[in-house]
Amino acid sequence: MTVLSRGGDPSEPPARLSRGGDPPEPPARLSRGGDPPEPARPPAVGDGPQDPATPLTTVLILNGPNLGRLGSREPEIYGSATLADIGAACSAVGASLGLIVDVRQTDDEAELIGWIHEAADRRLPVVLNPAAFTHYSYALRDALAMRTAPLVEVHLSNPAARETFRHTSVVSAVADGTIAGFGPRSYELALRAVAGILDG
Ligand code: CA2
């Protein structure tokens, strides 16, 4: 399930990792005499709609199995917010940080790995709640090890305080860091962590 927009055009160039710290683009060359006008360049992934001097970076917020059911069951563990609610909050926080968020959820390991490949190819930062894949998916871990941009693992609950099988994450070692146990706010904190990494 895709909660917000789905990117995914593999023909797109890599997004810019800076959230505004880059030096401005050099001014367009002035045409001399009879030079034909420069063709307009196609829009880049990082292009922001507001200010061309502060291009926006897209962050993929990826969610694994069963997280599409949030808000319907086990609110005592996962809270009452739906994934759509979390996506809306992420959009607002992302906008305040100069980030565009693209929130997706799948129950399918292959689809999730495809999105991780896409992130690597497009150099997009990822906030990832791998859900149960956290604890056993070496295929997901191997895909994540190919990342080309920041990766923050996120969990609504605190797996370390739950059943023993949840104490192992095969993802943590290939992530920049993990944020767990703060409910939907874990996602906001993860986005802030991504912004901090991008800012250096
Ligand atoms: O705390 C988290 O965010 C988890 O990643 C959630 C996973 C769990 O396997 C991890 O150990 C920790 C499970 C997501 C299940 O989502 C549900 C949503 C609604 C009702 C029941 C489960």
pLDDT in tens, 173-189: 999 999 999 999 999 99
Enter the pTM of the model.
0.78
**Average pLDDT rounded to a whole number, residues 114-140:** 98
The pLDDT value recorded for residue 12 is: 41
The pLDDT value recorded for residue 72 is: 85
Flag whether pLDDT at 100 surpasses 60: yes
Architecture of domain 57-199 in CATH?
3-Layer(aba) Sandwich (3.40)
Indicate if ligand 1 lies below 6 Å from the C-beta of 157: yes
Name the residue of 67, 72, 135, 165 to mutate for ligand 1: max ligand atoms within 8 A of Cβ: 67
Across the chain, what does the average pLDDT equal?
A: 81
Catalytically active residues are 78, 155
Would you say 190 and 179 are in contact if contact means Cβ atoms under 8 Å apart? Answer: yes
Contacts of residues 165-171 at CB distance under 8 Å and 24 or more positions apart, as own/partner, are 165/135, 166/134, 166/135, 168/135, 169/134, 169/135, 170/134, 170/135, 170/136, 170/137, 170/138, 170/140, 170/141, 171/128, 171/130, 171/133, 171/134, 171/137, 171/140, 171/141, 171/144
The pLDDT value recorded for residue 56 is: 87
pLDDT in tens, 35-67: 444 444 444 444 444 456 667 899 999 999 999
How would you class 43 by CB atoms within 10 Å of its CB: exposed for 0-12, middle for 13-18, buried for 19 or more? exposed
pLDDT bucket at 141, cuts 50 / 70 / 90: very high
